[in-house]
Structure 1
Amino acid sequence: MIKIEKGNMQIAERLVTFETCPSFSGILCGNSAGKIWVDEIENPHFAIVYSAPVGSFGVLGRVKNDIEYNLLVEFIQNELFQQLKESGETDFEFSADDLELEQRLLKTFEKNKIVQDQEIYFVYENKKPTINIPIKNYSFRQVDKECIEEDFKNKEFLMDKIFESWGTAESYLKMGVAFIATNENKIIGIIMGSSNYNDVLPIDIEIIEEYRQLGIASELTKYFLNYCFEQRKVAYWNCITSNIASQRLAEKAGFKCIGKNYYYYFSM
C-alpha cells in the first residue's frame, strides 16, 4: 500500500460510492485533512482512509482478487497496527463500503473478538431558514479570519478542531464553515463542517460539558443549517444508534434519516 499526502478528485471519482461517508470522500478528493493509502497511484482499486473527526478508518473500493486482498490485510496487520500502537492506540476501528470485502475482513480478524456497532445517517433537505432565538449570556458567530485571530481564553478548542478537520487555517477558510458559541471570552461550543465533498458537509459538533442541556447545540445547529440553505449546501449528520440525544437533536432540527451502516472495532 502506498501513502499519499493529499487526495484528488480523480481518485475520489474512482472509489467513492453512494455508501461512502462524506468525511472519507472529502479526504479522498483532497478537500479536507486525513490519511490515505492506496494500492496503486494511477488507477487505484481500493484505499484506506483515516478521518480524525470520525475517529475511524474507511476501506473504500473493491479488491479484484486474492493477491489484492492479501496486500490489504498484510498492510493492516504489519504496518497500520504498528503505527497505531506507536501512537498509543489499542483498538482498530473500521468500516467498508463493499459488503463482500467487509465480510472477508470480518472473517480474517474474527479471532480478535470484533465488536459491532451501528451508525445512523441524516441529511437536511434544503428547507426554509430556521429562526435563531437569542440565549441570554451567550453569543453566536461564524468562524472567519477575524474570529480565528481573536484571543479567546480557550482558543485551542477552536484551533484543534480546525487542524483536525482541515490541516491548516488557510484550508479551513477556503473550504470550511463553522460557528461558535461564546460566554464572555470563552468558546463553549463549536459546530463545524468537518469536510466537503460535492457540497455535502458532515457535521462535527461539541459543547463543553458544563454548558450542555442549555439549548446551545440546537442553536448552533440552526446557524449551520441557515448557512447551508443560503449557500445551497447539504448538511450531513451521523451518530451511533445508541446516542439517542444526538438522534433527537438531528430530528428536532429537521434532519431526515437516510440509512444505517455497521462499523467494527477490536483490540490489536
Structure 2
Amino acid sequence: MAEYYLPDISRIPTLSCAYVTRVLTQEAFADLYRPEWSNALCEDRKKLDVLGVGAYDGSTLVGLAACSADCDDMWQIGVDVLPEYRRQGIASALTSRLTKEIINRGKVPFYCTAWSNVRSVRNAVKSGFIPAWVEMTAKPANIVDEMNL
C-alpha cells in the first residue's frame, strides 16, 4: 500500500541540517541519474524532474530531495541521503525546504511512501505532511524487505 501525503500549509517547518543546501534546477540533474539518487530522480522520466534541493559536505552531494512534475499542478517529492549521512536530519531539512520552493512556484507538493517504509513516513510527518490518500498494490515480500533495509 502506498500512502500519499499533502502538506499542512500551516505547519511546514523550517528545518536545517549541518550541511550547506542549494536549490537545484533541471540542468543540475544531468550527472545525478545514479542508483544513490533513485528515489529523488527517475532516469526513465528525466523530463519530469524539475526542481531539487541538495545538501553538500564540501563539494560532495550527500542528500537530495527532488520533485517530478507528475501533472500540471502537482509535483511529487522524492528524497535520498547517502547511507553514511543518514539520521542527521538531512532528509527532513531538504524535504521541508523543497516543499516551500514548490509552493512558491504555485504548485502543490505531494509525497508518497510505502506504508512499510517507516523512515520515509517519519520524514513526511516531520516535514509538515499529512496523509491524504492511499493506493493498494501487491508486491513480493522480498521487495518490501529491501525497502526496510
Assess same fold via TM > 0.5. Answer: yes
Given the alignment, which residue of 235, 249, 257 partners 2:109? 235
Given the alignment, which residue of 65, 74, 79 partners 1:191? 65
Q: Residue 252 of structure 1: CA displacement?
A: 1.7
Within the alignment, does 1:182 sit opposite 2:65 as a pair? Answer: no
Q: Which has the higher helix share?
A: 1
Given the alignment, which residue of 115, 121, 126 partners 1:252? 126
Q: Residue 198 of structure 1: CA displacement?
A: 2.6
- Any stretches of 5+ residues in structure 2 without a counterpart? 141-149
* Partner Cα separation in structure 2 for residue 123 and residue 143 of structure 1: 22
Indicate how the Cα distance of structure 1 residues 187 and 230 shifts in structure 2: closer, same or farther if over 3 A, else same: same
Aligned to 1:164: 43
Identity %: 21
Per-residue CA distance 1:202-234 (angstroms, 9 max, x = gap): 111110000000010011012101102211211
Larger RCO (alpha carbons 8 Å, 6+ apart): 2
2:115 alignment partner AA: T
Which of these two proteins has the greater Rg computed from alpha carbons? 1
1:1-268 to 2 correspondences below 5 Å:
118-127=1-10, 130-133=13-16, 135-136=17-18, 138-144=19-25, 148=28, 156=31, 158-160=32-34, 162=41, 164=43, 166-167=45-46, 171=47, 176-265=50-139
Q: Residue 199 of structure 1: CA displacement?
A: 1.6
| 8 Å contact kept, 2:2–2:112 | yes
* Partner Cα separation in structure 2 for residue 185 and residue 249 of structure 1: 25
1:238 alignment partner AA: C
Q: How does the TM-score come out when normalised to structure 1?
A: 0.45
Q: Residue 125 of structure 1: CA displacement?
A: 3.9
* Partner Cα separation in structure 2 for residue 256 and residue 163 of structure 1: 24
Secondary structure at the aligned position of 1:194 is classed as strand
Secondary structure at the aligned position of 1:264 is classed as coil
Count the aligned residue pairs: 135
Runs of 4+ in structure 1 off by over 6 angstroms are none
| 8 Å contact kept, 2:54–2:62 | yes
RMSD: 2.6
Per-residue CA distance 1:128-159 (angstroms, 9 max, x = gap): 764343x33x11001137x729xxxxx84x24
Q: How does the TM-score come out when normalised to structure 2?
A: 0.76
